[in-house]
Amino acid sequence: MAKLAVDIHGGDYGPSVVIPSCLDFFRSHPEHLGYFFGDARFYRAFIHECPSNLEWIDTDELSDVEKASPSKLLRKQGLSSIEIAYKALANKDVDAVISAEHTGVLLTLATKYGQLHNQLNRPALASWLPTTGLETVMLDLGASFSATSDQLIAYSAIGIGLMRSSYAVPKVSLLNLGTEAYKGPLELRTAYKVLSQWQNIDFAGFIEASDIYNGSTNIVVTDGFTGNTAIKSAEGALKLAIKSVSTQLQQSILHKVLGLVLKQQLKNTMTKLHPDEANGALVAGTELLIIKSHGNAKKRALTAALKRAVYAIEHKSTELIWAELDKIN
């Protein structure tokens, strides 16, 4: 059983999308407990649809929370839905927090209410990639604008911890502009040398951006700016491709018939590759389990984020990450 705290005010759409999407999840998963944190005015319309495994926690919205500076968030005792949810997580009243709030807010509150591992100077954002091969996670994704070799090594340890429950010997790659060991900046080449000596991992060296979605590795490590750019541009390109194919298959009766045939043949593959299925990034580096959803997430993506949280709880992801970080000399 997982106890999941949902911030109903985060994201582009807020309660109007978050509430009905998450209600469906908890109806379908009565074995898990849900806690909705937010202004009661927004969920009164849904109160009669509430399943028995869901509880409402009334809070102030304070929609200006994402405009607050990190120093203000750290200093002020906030009453926003996301901060009250964090307090519940820190008190172990819930097992995880799921929110589409601004990344900076989630990272700042993680260090306010949790203990940051001493190998990190800030939490890292790790996200699963849609592939048809190996399960793949990429980090960092926006929590940092650059990375030293020590930070890249710490990100590698986080990725290894995430994958350790599924792979005894996870495969690790560093994102670079080429696969040759002599290419790239000094920080990357230094991390390469260190990781090549690590035990109980399969270090695959450098990987290029064109290969990160083919499922050939378990962990892709990079700095936050590069990672965020790579994943968002790929998501945009994939959505464009899917939309273009769908448009073409609606051009005539023959195309529509062909589309119906192809839809059945490609259904499983397209489901795996859809960006919404990979929604739910982990704010990693503290003992708190926090899942960040895309700001524009709707039902399919929010469901994926909730499932991601359950998986992380059941597989003790935060504990495994901490154990790998402890191994760094």
pLDDT tens for 73-95 read: 665 667 788 889 999 999 999 99
pLDDT, one tens digit per residue, over 249-297 is 677 666 555 656 566 655 555 566 566 777 889 999 999 999 999 877 7
Residue 32 — very low, low, confident or very high, per pLDDT cuts 50/70/90? very high
Judged against a pLDDT cut of 70, whether residue 166 lies above it is answered with yes
The pLDDT, as a whole number, for residue 102 is 85
What confidence score (pLDDT) does residue 261 get?
58
Mean pLDDT, residues 12-34: 89
Residue, of 265 and 191, whose pLDDT is higher: 191
Residue 67 pLDDT greater than 70, yes or no? no
Calculate the average pLDDT of the chain. Answer: 85
pLDDT of residue 75: 59
CA distance 230 to 136: 14
pLDDT confidence of residue 260: 61
Q: Which amino acid is at 212?
A: I
Selection from 265, 259, 266, 270 nearest residue 300 by Cα: 270
What is the rounded (10 degree) CA torsion for 228, 234, 240, 243?
-100
Query: pLDDT band at 40, cuts 50/70/90?
Result: confident
Q: How far apart are the first and last CA of the chain?
A: 36
Separation between Cα atoms, residue 295 and residue 14, nearest integer Å: 9
The better pLDDT of the pair 267, 161 is held by 161
> Which residue carries 């999941």 as its tokens?
4
pLDDT at 71 over 70: no
Residue 70, pLDDT > 60, answer no
Question: Which of 286, 292, 321 minimizes the C-alpha distance to 306?
Answer: 292
